[in-house]
Amino acid sequence: MFDATVREGVLRVAASGARWLSTGWDGGYVDADAAYNVSVPEGWSRTDLSAYAAERRDDAGFGTAGPTLLTGVAMSHARGARSERVTAYATAGVSNPAALPMDGERDTEEPETQEPSVGTVNVVLGTARALDDAALATLLSVAVEAKTATLLAETGFPGTTTDAVVAGANPSGEPATFAGSGTEVGAAARACVRDAVRASLRSRYPEGDFPAAVADADHGVVTTRSAEVFRV
């Protein structure tokens, strides 16, 4: 399960009967035989995302529907990593970074972006273990944490404005009650996401020429606002 095929700018992660949880535009829980990561062309402006995703899957010869992520990063930069019974695939671009300055580090206005795919860090993660919906949600959170830690270490940004993760599990596999960072599944997921994201970044930016700040990027956002803090 969770083997990938790339055709026509579409990455398919095949997993017959898998249970998925996605943070993408068609997100939520779904049972499907595959999940997808689709590279869109420069200047892409389609808004009928479901129809577009179906067209791209069909053009690539992938007739099975499933949760689909979109990215401006070419699939030539897709990278996978495997550990134990977990596999992750990532595409990483940071032309639209989302910075979250800490106190004393706020230095710019807060720009907004509506670009859906100019950069994006997308991760499709799967485990051969069977997880219930709660454990699958935990696995997704572990993947997001690992993605964030990797991006901070590699680029200085915790993410982009359009990052998305899909996590999947095999309902027919050996059950795992928990999937947090201290479990076999969670530890393997952290390593896989870290190494896949890092490898994709290094493919996309072989000279390490990431934007030094949001102001240097094509698009992006800096969260400069403060929240009211109160005692509970």
- What the chain holds in terms of domains, given with CATH numbers, is 3-222 (3.60.70)
**Alpha-carbon 214 to chain mean position:** 20
At 113 the pLDDT is: 47
Q: Which two tokens stand for residue 4?
A: 């990938």
At 118 the pLDDT is: 56
At 107 the pLDDT is: 46
pLDDT at 116 over 90: no
* Contact (CB, 8 A) for 30 and 42: no
Beta bridge partners of 215: none
Amino acid identity at 2:
F
Percent of the chain with pLDDT over 90: 84
Residue tagged 């290094």 (tokens): 202
At 83 the pLDDT is: 97
pLDDT at 98 over 90: yes
pLDDT at 224 over 60: yes
At 114 the pLDDT is: 47
Mean pLDDT score, 10-15 = 98
pLDDT digits (tens, 9 = 90+) for 158-187: 999 999 999 999 999 999 999 999 999 999
Q: What is the mean pLDDT of the chain?
A: 93
Angstrom distance (rounded) from CA 143 to CA 194: 9
* Contact (CB, 8 A) for 67 and 26: yes
Assign 110 a pLDDT band (cuts: 50, 70, 90).
Answer: low
Helix and strand numbers (H, E) in the chain are 3, 10
pLDDT digits (tens, 9 = 90+) for 44-78: 889 899 999 999 999 999 999 999 999 999 999 99
| Three-class DSSP category at 116 | coil
**Alpha-carbon 24 to chain mean position:** 9
At 30 the pLDDT is: 98
Assign 191 a pLDDT band (cuts: 50, 70, 90).
Answer: very high
Q: Nearest 5°: phi and psi at 157?
A: -110, 145
At 102 the pLDDT is: 87
Mean pLDDT score, 121-145 = 98
Nearest to 79 by CA among 213, 218, 193: 193
| Cα 162-167-169 angle, rounded to 5 deg | 170
Percent of the chain with pLDDT over 70: 94
What are the residues whose beta carbons fall under 8 Å from the beta carbon of 118, sequence distance 6 or more? 72, 93, 95, 96, 162, 218, 219
